[in-house]
Amino acid sequence: MDSLKIAELQSHDEILLAFPVMSQLRPHLNESTYLDLVTEAKQRDMYKLFALYDQQEIVAVTGFKPMITLYYGRFVWVCDLVTSERKRSSGYGEKLLTFVHKWAEENGYESVALSSGLNRSEAHRFYEEKMDYDKVSYVFKHLLE
């Protein structure tokens, strides 16, 4: 894994380069909507988008944002974490999530939290067994019309 590099994606071109991997997690987004949402989240919500490169190929992507709530205190919320389907089980997700942990610690945050879809049992096993996350709540969603 000597050829690995993690870099923040800042320009529109850099953000778009991550779309093929991100779209595996967020298939409901097209390239334009993805770019708009990332750009707005970066401007309004301190959203950060990082890619893990292996030999200059994006193999995993994470998006996260620092937050403060009464429940969690000062923490980092992982909004998106995905490894390319053809590169899974190679340690990339662990490396990228460990990077988020270090980023949070270095920036004065107390914890890292995320949600994962109910049907993503492989991801749940990864978070609980490999990354030592605790299942602490359910996340509920209500669509407004």
One digit per residue, pLDDT tens: the chain, 145 residues? Answer: 568 999 999 999 999 999 999 999 999 999 999 999 999 999 999 999 999 999 999 999 999 999 999 999 999 999 999 999 999 889 999 999 999 999 999 999 999 999 988 888 888 899 999 999 999 988 888 899 8
Range(s) of the domain holding residue 104: 4-130
Asked if residue 76 lies in contact with residue 16, where contact means CB atoms within 8 angstroms, the answer is: no
For the CA atoms of 41, 45, 46, 50, what is the dihedral angle to 10 degrees? -40
Which has the closest alpha carbon to 1: 73, 63, 76, 94?
Answer: 94
What residue has token string 């708009």? 36
Which domain CATH number covers 109? Answer: 3.40.630.30
Residue 143 lies in a domain: no
Which pTM does this prediction carry? Answer: 0.92
Asked if residue 94 lies in contact with residue 130, where contact means CB atoms within 8 angstroms, the answer is: yes
